[in-house]
Structure 1
Amino acid sequence: MTIKKITTLFLFIASFSIVAQQKITLEEIWSGAFRTKGMDELHAMKNTNQYTVLDFNRTSRSMQIDLYDFATLEKISTLIDTKDFQELSSIDSYTFDKTESKILLATNSSPIFRHSFIADYFVYDIKSKSLKKFTEKQIQEPTFSSDGSKIAYAFENNLYIYDVITQTHLQITQDGKKNAIINGITDWVYEEEFAFVKAFDWNKTGDKIAFIRFDETDVPEFSMDIYNEGLYPTQTVFKYPKAGEKNALVSLHIYDLKTNVSTKIDLGNYSDFYIPRIEWTNEANTLSAQIMNRHQNNLDLHFIDAVSGKTKIVLNEKDKAYVDITDNLTFLVDNSFIWTSEKDGFNHVYHYDKNGKLQNQITKGDWEVTAYYGYDEKNKTIYYQSVENGSINRDVYSINISGKKKTKLTTKTGTNDATFSPNFQYFINTYSSATNAPLYTLNESKTGKELKKIQSNEELEAKVATYDIAPKEFFTLTTSKGYTLNAWSIKPKDFDTSKKYPVLMYQYSGPGSQQVANQWNSANDYWYYMLAQKGYIVICVDGRGTGFKGADFKKVTYKELGKYEVEDQIDAAKEIAKYNYVDPSRIGIWGWSYGGFMSSNCILKGNDVFKTAIAVAPVTSWRYYDSIYTERYMQTPQENASGYDNNSPINHVEKLKGNYLLIHGTADDNVHVQNTMKMIEALVQANKQFDWAIYPDKNHGIYGGKTRLQLYTKMTNFLLEKL
């Protein structure tokens, strides 16, 4: 072989080696280099066997709502393209009227809190291709009436109705006032913890609107300084009920468009209660309302006669710990209803008649239903998602409403999620696993047979394969106390059992949560792969209190948040320390939010186990967190002082031995920076050395511009130096 040929071969091998062993960088992770392709704003139509997707044309820099056929996946038409309308800069979200002939389009959205926002709204008529901005105000939650002739919306804490035909506005509440009275929109704590914003609903004939009114007058205020670019900071002040403090007083009202009269509904002898859901049934004059006590361990489902105002309780749920709120309540044609409940120890589907009499428990077993998709009246078939194939996996199933003829519709092990066609003939399945990037396929609903591939991420899979990383491994870990816990690990590609590796543990651990799930990579996973390339093993363990393994496993932490979860992380770390390839003197732990609460407790209570901890946006005392979330799991501080204080990291700062990094954003409306400031002061007075970083004007997510890159660079450098 000539020297030239040898040199060429050497260069080829060297270049191949570089390609095959690329290193992940933080710049790549936070620039979107590993972003997946998906189907944005996928909506199944109601009246035709079609669906819409919000697309973006990079060439024209415009957005389109495209209509597709479920059976063929062929694009039928573009319903609207922003390039045709100068006044429509973008489409942030969209909803159809009942006839699907008009679309409500949101643009120029401005966020308020996690779910809420104000925006400019337009009505688009598909047939005439006319676009109309029906109010110059930035409004909230506009919603078509059943016949599409009217739109109800909220503006500055009051409710309005816009008549599409006469083009007139009617204000139906008058007393809305910031930080005092809210009509038809939830307050901060309902939005965050009951996960809804629109607290009003049209009935089936479009002549009545039910709404919840919030009186926040006596709720304590929280203030945040906003530093901006100005000479003086500004201040944001909002009502935030902390644990044990006064909540908003809620009341239920029905506005009759025929009489223009609003009626307050007498719900009975409740005091200090919640209305976490309202929904009109299929009977135009029957409204459903879920009423829950402050402890959230008793829920009554009321049916309310809108004409007489009389109410009756058709269903009651009690629990020794708490009852979870869902959006699974579904009314069938005969006004019987589907309900999900954990009352037999696992979350399952139930069918009740219109008077609340149990007809059947449809699903049964020592596994959880994780999503309810709908009911096919024609074939008397219910579609749902569950963890029957292992708590880290998700599959789609069908079952007859009688509880018979159960069919598993998905075959690939991992996480499957479905969007069904209106006639339930087809579903679009979204599948991913730890080793398979998201794949969208068209499937037939009777057998689950895959008919066609819609969208895949093979390019991303191929790209990830060029990096020097080993796939995530799932396993179970049994602690010294005998608890078997789900776990995963990410190891260096050149892992050698004869070496001793440092370990970083990641967890969240909040009630009903799950981090050990067989699904595609998050941005954090790429960070873990990067750390593995630097010689670390990353391990995640879901301890007691996390979800999808039954009510007892989840609710064991009741009244003791931070006790059993911390025990499990410490015990898991002790087991990991026994692995012959782990350096027991170099085990660290990190987490965000609830996970930051946990990592703080772990380095204090487990100071002989953990060398290093990072806590981002942590709760440091549940006394500082909101009423609905905290009291659901802890009752009030007045009732359960020891539960609050024994597990607060603030009260254990004298135990700090290792390296501790504390991080928070000053504009965090969720977990207030007060938590970190109190923790800092306690550490200072205990004369403990620690590191901390504060991000001005950043909320609970701590992002924007280069923020995430800077944050993860700081955390990476801290781990390289301290672990």
Structure 2
Amino acid sequence: MEDIEKSNHYLIESSARKNRNGKGRIRTALLRYALLLVFVVLPVTTFGLGFHINYKASNPDVYRLPKSQFTKDGKIKVSFDNLRNGTFVPELKALQWIHTTGSTEDDKGLFLTTENDNYEVRSVFDEDYSKILWEGKSFQYKGANHSVDSLVASPNLEQLLIRTSTVHNWRHSSFGSYFVYNNVTGIDRIGDNLALAEWSPNSVDIAYVKDNDLYLYSTEESKTVSRITHDGSTQVFNGKPDWVYEEEIMETDRTLWWSPQGDYLAFFKINETFVNEFVIPYYVQNPEDVYSELRSIKYPKSGTPNPVADVVIYDAKKDKTSPIGLEGSPELLTEAKWVGDDQLLVKSSDRSSDVLKVYLVNAVTQNSKIVREDSSNGGWWEITHNTLHIPRDDSNGRNSDGYLDVLPIDGFNHLVYFDSVGSSSPIALTRGEWEIEDGPFAFDHETNDVYFIATKESSTQRHLYSVNLKQPEEIVEITDTSENAVYTASFSSGSRFVLISYRGPSIPFQKIVDLKSNQPDADKKGNIRGKTLFYLTKNEKLSDELCKYAIPRKQFKELTLPNGVIVNALEILPNGFRANRKNYYPVFFYAYGGPNSQQVLQTYSVSFLEVFASQLNAIIVIVDGRGTGFKGKEFRSVVRDKLGDYEAQDQIAAAALYSSKHYVDANKISLFGWSYGGYLTLKTLEKDAGVHFKYGISVAPVTDWGFYDSVYTERYMHTPQQNQNGYEQSSVHNVTAIAQAKRFLLMHGTGDDNVHFQNSLKVLDLLNLNSVENYDVHVFPDSDHGIRYHNANKIVWDKILNWTKNVYLN
């Protein structure tokens, strides 16, 4: 408005000087009146109705939203419309390798394919090999039609386990009807409403869970031959996890494991009798309901009783179960792995993940002993499931059953080898200021080579390497490390063949490589070892399609923050970015920031971030601050017992860095996060108090760690009884500081079983108590943590975009 007022003053005074007689004074008065209409009245009316955009459009130094969905060269800008229709999604195939009961030395690279509605076993090595297991996507049984939801072949490929009528439960679990198919005897029904079913390695028996009890089905007798447990209930879970074990510990729907020969079945018995209940109301499930539906869930919050888990072993030959006593009665069981025909390795920790204990259980004698006990030494033990059995083979220099694991070496997670299952002294296979991702991938029994993915080149990259058990720390590159890249890999049963998936930063592709070929590739792409047999996907169609679009430029970088911390960052610049502009561009920060997480990874993606860059004409920034993963123990463990502190400091420091850039409008810096990111958004606004972050968007946030589940929270915060001050400081509590931002948006689903709606209600209550009003709220009825129920996912993203547009224009 200052420029308009100066123009008014200049025009009126210059006219008055030119008219000194009466008529001139009349003309001057009329001119003044006309000018007042134009410059005073109109700003109050027409300008207020939106015509100020026309003024801004004439001034290149005033921020404005994009006027067109096309760039000057005719390319289409990224929007939610072309994002939601799958335009930018690469084709990536999951190859279901077949791990048969035969020798790993005879590795033909068998895999399951479902082309043309047929389930067929093929070979990557022998193009002529084909075995059709099943035809079609449905079948008839006793006059009723059933759709095939999933199909798992027996280890000998002679029979099939089929699931139909699947009903989703929690994140990983479901219920369904299970059938078994044999090309001689046909189809038999195992049962309905089963939680899971799993083949024995003997290809005869199937263990399944119904009503939280374990049963054994025999395909030879076509019936259930044993009820393994009799105490399953709403409180006792046999072979399947309860809510917190599924969500935070096992990250799967099962807690049962067959021994290598199928002689024994190990499982967890989880008793949640003393776990407190949380009730979630559902409002719009049935249009005819006038009362809300109440669903109760056993949910252990911080400092409250956890479920009690025990190890039980079932002897299939004797039809006998034996509970296993573990010394010290560990509070959390985190992993179980057979490391021999009758030896079971069990990992456990205290409830705060300070001490890791490893037990070796003898299935024959039912005895157990502690073989390892390690302190986290100021950090925590992250729950992993990457232990890999290395079987005894005297001819290859392996004189005992052993296993591979991941342990910290000089502050970085590395691959280690225990050459005996009873050993407590690991052999370090890798070492350095880089980390293993997700543990060992595969082991070649003939060559003693271990294949793994690691961050050796950069914490934002992933490459495939190998190391030999007999030559520790001599790392061999499998993928081309001269190019920035992220790779994943999956291996055939004998680890001769590998599906290498290039995930970015350029357009993804997938290829099958023979690691033992005598004819390596002449023209390398991706792998520098092995022979490419064929490409599974090339995404050539996607490559052609992307030429039509103006994809905002993405840059991965390291930032040295004003507080001296060096962090990984991703920056996305809007279409037509011009660095010579002054105080022009908004900055839209996106954060997650949870302990040991990572957002800045050099993968290909065209996501909501590119939409926001294109549609907001804003710079998008992601910063992986302290507490995040793959930069060593010191970097991540600093947040222990004080979540939300260092993470917020680093987001604020990054905002200070960007606000100092001449082309950034420091009054238009915002922060958005979901889940832990929603929590970090509120904590950052609280700590910043409006100095750098002017706007914030928080979706499904934790606001008080006393409200969240015990297993996750206590790993990083200990219990509230041990760390009362830490919990108080880590909660979102100073809402008057948050109110120093110009405006913020809070959104949550009322049916969230993970981060309960209680968290947002607590903050809303604090806002009321402190008379804070500069915020907006959107509630999604019955939506869970992903906010998808009844079109909610479209609305939540549209809301974030449109809300941000409005605040940037004010």
SS in 2 for 1:604: helix
SS in 2 for 1:338: strand
- The answer as to 2:493 corresponding to 1:410 is no
Q: Which position in structure 2 is the counterpart of 1:8?
A: none
Q: Which position in structure 2 is the counterpart of 1:5?
A: none
Q: Map 1:483-502 onto structure 2 (within 5 A).
A: 483-499=565-581, 500-502=584-586
How far off its partner does 1:444 sit? 3.1
Aligned counterparts of 2:686 and 2:594: Cα–Cα separation in 1: 19
> Alpha carbons of 1:698 and 1:157: their partners in 2 closer, same or farther (altered >3 Å)?
same
Aligned counterparts of 1:83 and 1:252: Cα–Cα separation in 2: 38
Q: Which position in structure 1 is the counterpart of 2:411?
A: 345
- The answer as to 2:563 corresponding to 1:505 is no
Match for 1:650: what amino acid?
A: H
Aligned counterparts of 2:138 and 2:753: Cα–Cα separation in 1: 39
Aligned counterparts of 2:673 and 2:128: Cα–Cα separation in 1: 44
Aligned counterparts of 1:480 and 1:473: Cα–Cα separation in 2: 20
Match for 1:401: what amino acid?
A: L
How far off its partner does 1:243 sit? 0.4
Aligned counterparts of 2:549 and 2:790: Cα–Cα separation in 1: 26
Q: Is the 1:19–1:467 Cα contact (8 Å) retained in structure 2?
A: no
**Between Structure 1 and Structure 2, how many residues are aligned?**
697
Q: Is the 1:469–1:533 Cα contact (8 Å) retained in structure 2?
A: no
How far off its partner does 1:325 sit? 2.2
Q: Map 1:43-82 onto structure 2 (within 5 A).
A: 43-46=97-100, 47=102, 48-55=107-114, 57=116, 63-71=117-125, 76-82=130-136
Aligned counterparts of 2:644 and 2:618: Cα–Cα separation in 1: 27
Q: What percent identity do the matched residue pairs reach?
A: 30
Aligned counterparts of 2:569 and 2:486: Cα–Cα separation in 1: 16
How far off its partner does 1:83 sit? 4.3
SS in 2 for 1:676: helix
How far off its partner does 1:267 sit? 0.8
Q: Which position in structure 1 is the counterpart of 2:794?
A: 709
Residue among 693, 705, 708 paired with 2:778: 693
Q: Map 1:157-556 onto structure 2 (within 5 A).
A: 157-169=212-224, 170-178=226-234, 180-194=235-249, 195-227=251-283, 228-229=285-286, 230-231=288-289, 232-270=291-329, 273-283=331-341, 285-320=342-377, 321-334=379-392, 335-352=401-418, 353-358=420-425, 360-371=427-438, 372-402=440-470, 403=472, 405-411=474-480, 412-434=483-505, 436-445=506-515, 447-499=529-581, 500-521=584-605, 523-528=607-612, 531-556=613-638
- The answer as to 2:700 corresponding to 1:617 is yes
Cα deviations by residue, 1:260-296 (Å, 9 ceiling, x for unpaired) = 332221112236x11111222223x222211211121
Q: Which position in structure 2 is the counterpart of 1:679?
A: 763
SS in 2 for 1:623: coil
Q: Is the 1:410–1:448 Cα contact (8 Å) retained in structure 2?
A: no
How far off its partner does 1:74 sit? 7.2
Aligned counterparts of 2:464 and 2:260: Cα–Cα separation in 1: 30
Query: Which has more radius of gyration?
Result: 2
Aligned counterparts of 1:217 and 1:192: Cα–Cα separation in 2: 18
Match for 2:756: what amino acid?
A: H
> Alpha carbons of 1:679 and 1:174: their partners in 2 closer, same or farther (altered >3 Å)?
same
TM-score, with length taken from structure 2: 0.82
How far off its partner does 1:18 sit? 8.1
Aligned counterparts of 1:594 and 1:699: Cα–Cα separation in 2: 15
Q: Is the 1:348–1:361 Cα contact (8 Å) retained in structure 2?
A: yes
SS in 2 for 1:161: strand
Q: Is the 2:339–2:402 Cα contact (8 Å) retained in structure 1?
A: no
Aligned counterparts of 1:359 and 1:720: Cα–Cα separation in 2: 56
Aligned counterparts of 2:328 and 2:83: Cα–Cα separation in 1: 54
Unaligned runs of 5+ in 2: 1-67, 393-400, 517-528
Match for 2:461: what amino acid?
A: N
Question: Which has the larger displacement, 438-447 or 707-716?
Answer: 438-447
How far off its partner does 1:324 sit? 1.7
SS in 2 for 1:135: strand
Q: Is the 1:30–1:709 Cα contact (8 Å) retained in structure 2?
A: no
Aligned counterparts of 1:564 and 1:362: Cα–Cα separation in 2: 33
Q: Is the 1:350–1:361 Cα contact (8 Å) retained in structure 2?
A: yes
Aligned counterparts of 1:462 and 1:18: Cα–Cα separation in 2: 20
Q: Is the 2:313–2:322 Cα contact (8 Å) retained in structure 1?
A: yes
- The answer as to 2:208 corresponding to 1:153 is yes
Aligned counterparts of 1:475 and 1:592: Cα–Cα separation in 2: 23
Question: Which has the larger displacement, 625-634 or 661-670?
Answer: 661-670
Aligned counterparts of 2:211 and 2:664: Cα–Cα separation in 1: 58
Question: Which has the larger displacement, 108-117 or 557-566?
Answer: 108-117
Q: Is the 1:487–1:516 Cα contact (8 Å) retained in structure 2?
A: yes
How far off its partner does 1:119 sit? 1.7
How far off its partner does 1:525 sit? 3.5
Question: Which has the larger displacement, 160-169 or 459-468?
Answer: 459-468
Q: Is the 1:479–1:575 Cα contact (8 Å) retained in structure 2?
A: yes
> Alpha carbons of 1:677 and 1:377: their partners in 2 closer, same or farther (altered >3 Å)?
same
SS in 1 for 2:683: helix
SS in 2 for 1:235: strand
SS in 2 for 1:597: helix
Cα deviations by residue, 1:322-344 (Å, 9 ceiling, x for unpaired) = 11222221111221111111243
Match for 2:502: what amino acid?
A: Y
Aligned counterparts of 2:262 and 2:739: Cα–Cα separation in 1: 61
Q: Is the 1:493–1:533 Cα contact (8 Å) retained in structure 2?
A: no
- The answer as to 2:658 corresponding to 1:576 is yes
Q: Which position in structure 1 is the counterpart of 2:751?
A: 667
Aligned counterparts of 2:799 and 2:365: Cα–Cα separation in 1: 63
Match for 2:254: what amino acid?
A: K
Aligned counterparts of 2:112 and 2:200: Cα–Cα separation in 1: 23
> Alpha carbons of 1:90 and 1:567: their partners in 2 closer, same or farther (altered >3 Å)?
farther
How far off its partner does 1:705 sit? 5.3
Match for 1:622: what amino acid?
A: W
SS in 1 for 2:458: coil
Aligned counterparts of 1:593 and 1:331: Cα–Cα separation in 2: 36
How far off its partner does 1:44 sit? 4.4
Match for 2:436: what amino acid?
A: V
- The answer as to 2:709 corresponding to 1:626 is yes
How far off its partner does 1:217 sit? 1.0
Q: Is the 2:137–2:148 Cα contact (8 Å) retained in structure 1?
A: no
> Alpha carbons of 1:350 and 1:167: their partners in 2 closer, same or farther (altered >3 Å)?
same
TM-score, with length taken from structure 1: 0.92
Q: Which position in structure 2 is the counterpart of 1:722?
A: 807
Aligned counterparts of 2:315 and 2:441: Cα–Cα separation in 1: 32
Q: Is the 1:620–1:676 Cα contact (8 Å) retained in structure 2?
A: yes
> Alpha carbons of 1:131 and 1:478: their partners in 2 closer, same or farther (altered >3 Å)?
farther
Aligned counterparts of 1:73 and 1:503: Cα–Cα separation in 2: 53
Aligned counterparts of 2:738 and 2:647: Cα–Cα separation in 1: 19
Aligned counterparts of 1:286 and 1:504: Cα–Cα separation in 2: 53
Match for 1:408: what amino acid?
A: E
Question: Which has the larger displacement, 347-356 or 308-317?
Answer: 308-317
Match for 1:643: what amino acid?
A: G
Q: Which position in structure 1 is the counterpart of 2:727?
A: 644
Aligned counterparts of 1:266 and 1:303: Cα–Cα separation in 2: 11
SS in 2 for 1:628: helix
Q: Which position in structure 2 is the counterpart of 1:32?
A: 86
How far off its partner does 1:118 sit? 1.0
> Alpha carbons of 1:221 and 1:705: their partners in 2 closer, same or farther (altered >3 Å)?
closer
> Alpha carbons of 1:444 and 1:245: their partners in 2 closer, same or farther (altered >3 Å)?
same
Cα deviations by residue, 1:550-601 (Å, 9 ceiling, x for unpaired) = 1111111111110100000001110111112111111000011000000111
Match for 1:506: what amino acid?
A: Y
